[in-house]
Amino acid sequence: MTTLAFIGWPEWLLIGLVAVLLFGRRLPEVGRNLGKSLVEFKKGLRGVKDEVDETIDEVTDTASKSESDDKNDITGD
């Protein structure tokens, strides 16, 4: 369920009317710019997620290497 589920069609109609009154002929341009902003925001989030995933992979690799080194020390290999 989305967070906007509490907004019914009358509220959306009112929001649309206010948007038309405020932006008029510029409304398509405003919508386009809003869409571009959302795309850039998603790209930024994806970049942060990739960095976190890389860091987790590095930590996991380091931990498994350390664990195997500890086992080698115990067995004398």
All structural domains of the chain with their residue ranges: 26-77
Is this model's pTM higher than 0.85 or not? no
Radius of gyration of the chain (CA): 26
In 3D, which of 77, 39, 27, 72 has the Cα closest to residue 47? 39
Q: What is the pLDDT of residue 27?
A: 86
- Residue 69 is predicted with a pLDDT of 65
* pLDDT tens series, the chain, 77 aa: 455 667 888 998 999 999 899 988 898 898 899 999 999 999 999 999 999 999 999 988 887 877 676 666 666 55
Q: Is 46 left (phi over 0), alpha (psi -120 to 50) or beta?
A: alpha
